Structure formats: structure tokens, C-alpha cells
């Protein structure tokens, strides 16, 4: 049994209500709660920084469920990281930059939703110039590495505005979780 923190980093805009990200989070909670202890944070509903920090200390694994807006996480999730990732609790100074993470022995996963089609990745002729998902979100991985977390393979839903396939997305997510969480 693992302690798993799932963070819904969706930020509402007129054109984006967040139903898909909440559906994916609900799918995770339902599936993972069968064999694990699960806590959640829905950033759009507000949060207490000290409580969030304690959730990270408690967690064996952190899962970020988030849309990708303009090639990064929403501003609300970035602000959360800025406020919650505290010096002395999540990281400290070290002789080598980036080697002072204090959350070692813990894992994390990104579950992301993109409006980009899947074919835009892994093809040098497409927009991401051959980059795969992990390379496209490398900057997000670096922030987690900085605090000591270890990655598991990320999950992505593509083309979510023009071609939403909710049943396919949730089935694929469960298969992914079986592979990377319930090992």
C-alpha cells in the first residue's frame, strides 16, 4: 500500500472548465484507492500551504493531473509550486546545484492533457521537431528532480478539444496506472 497525493492543477478559463482533468483525477482516485491511501488537492478550490507541504511529506508518490497551457502548467499550478516547495523542507543548498532535494525515495508522475495531436510528437517534421512527451515537459521534470522526486513514465491525452475520447482516455489511464503505480 502506498500513500498517493493527486493534485488537480487545472485552472478555469472561459474556454476551459476542467471537466476532463477532473474526470481523469476521479478515475485515478477510484482506481488507486482500492490498494492505496489517497489524498487529493484541487487547486481551483484553494489550498493551505502548510497542509499541502505535509501531504508531500506523507506521500510516497505525487501525481500531477494538469492541462498543458502554452507548453507549461497553468499559472495556478506554478504558483502552488512556488508557494509549497519550501527551502529547508523540500530542498536545501548543496555543493552541486540541483542536488539538494529532500524528498528522495518518493516518486511522481505527470498526467497531462494537450490540445496538440499525438502526431505532433516524435516526428522531426512536426511542431515538436521529434521530441517525445517527456522531452516536451522536461522543464517540469527538472523542478521535481530539484526537490528530490523520482519520475515514473508520464501519461498524456492528446487532441482533447477537437477530438475528446473520454472512454479511451480513462481506459488508457487505468492501464498506465497499473503499469507505473501498482508494480
* CA dist., res. 148 & res. 56, Å (int): 12
CB atoms within 10 A of CB 99: 13
Are 48 and 84 in contact by the 8 Å Cβ rule? The answer is no
Provide the phi-psi class of 91: left if phi over 0, else alpha when psi is between -120 and 50, else beta. Answer: beta
Q: Look at residue 18 and tell me whether its pLDDT is greater than 80.
A: no
pLDDT at 183: 60
pTM above 0.75, yes or no: yes
Residue 6 is predicted with a pLDDT of: 98
Q: What is the pLDDT of residues 114-143, one digit of tens each?
A: 988 788 787 788 777 878 888 888 999 999
The set of cell numbers assigned to 65 is: 493531473
Residue boundaries of the structural domains of the chain: 3-180
Average pLDDT over residues 72-97: 93
- Cell numbers found for residue 156: 498524456
In the chain, where does DSSP find H-type helix?
19-32, 49-58, 75-84, 133-136, 138-146, 166-180
E strands, 9-154, are: 37-42, 61-67, 107-113, 150-151
Q: Which residues contact 126 (CB under 8 A, 6 or more apart)?
A: 119, 120
> pLDDT-derived band of residue 170, with 50, 70 and 90 as boundaries?
very high
Number of Cβ within 10 Å of residue 53's Cβ equals 16
Task: Calculate ∠ Cα 3-75-112, nearest 5°.
Answer: 50
> At 151, is the secondary structure helix, strand, or coil?
strand
For residue 117, the model assigns a pLDDT of 77
CATH assignment, 3-180: 3.40.50.360
For 105, the 3-state DSSP assignment is: coil
Over residues 37-58, the pLDDT tens digits come to 999 999 999 999 999 999 999 9
| Mean pLDDT across 54-79 | 94
Amino acid at each position: 500500500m502506498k500513500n498517493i497525493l493527486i493534485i488537480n492543477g487545472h485552472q478555469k478559463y472561459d474556454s476551459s472548465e476542467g471537466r476532463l482533468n477532473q474526470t481523469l483525477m476521479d478515475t485515478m482516485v477510484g482506481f488507486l484507492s482500492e490498494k492505496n491511501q489517497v489524498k487529493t488537492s484541487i487547486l481551483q478550490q484553494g489550498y493551505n500551504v502548510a497542509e499541502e507541504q505535509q501531504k508531500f511529506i506523507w506521500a510516497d508518490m505525487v501525481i500531477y493531473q494538469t492541462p498543458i497551457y502554452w507548453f507549461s502548467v497553468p499559472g495556478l499550478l506554478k504558483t502552488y509550486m512556488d508557494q509549497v516547495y519550501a527551502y529547508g523542507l523540500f530542498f536545501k543548498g548543496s555543493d552541486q546545484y540541483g542536488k539538494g532535494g529532500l524528498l528522495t525515495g518518493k516518486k511522481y508522475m505527470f498526467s497531462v492533457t494537450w490540445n496538440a495531436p499525438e502526431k505532433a510528437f516524435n516526428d522531426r517534421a512536426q511542431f515538436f521537431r521529434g521530441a517525445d512527451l517527456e522531452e516536451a515537459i522536461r522543464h517540469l521534470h527538472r523542478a521535481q528532480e530539484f526537490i528530490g522526486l523520482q519520475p515514473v513514465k508520464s501519461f498524456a491525452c492528446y487532441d482533447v478539444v477537437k477530438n475528446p475520447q473520454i472512454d479511451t482516455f480513462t481506459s488508457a489511464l487505468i492501464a498506465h496506472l497499473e503499469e507505473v503505480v501498482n508494480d
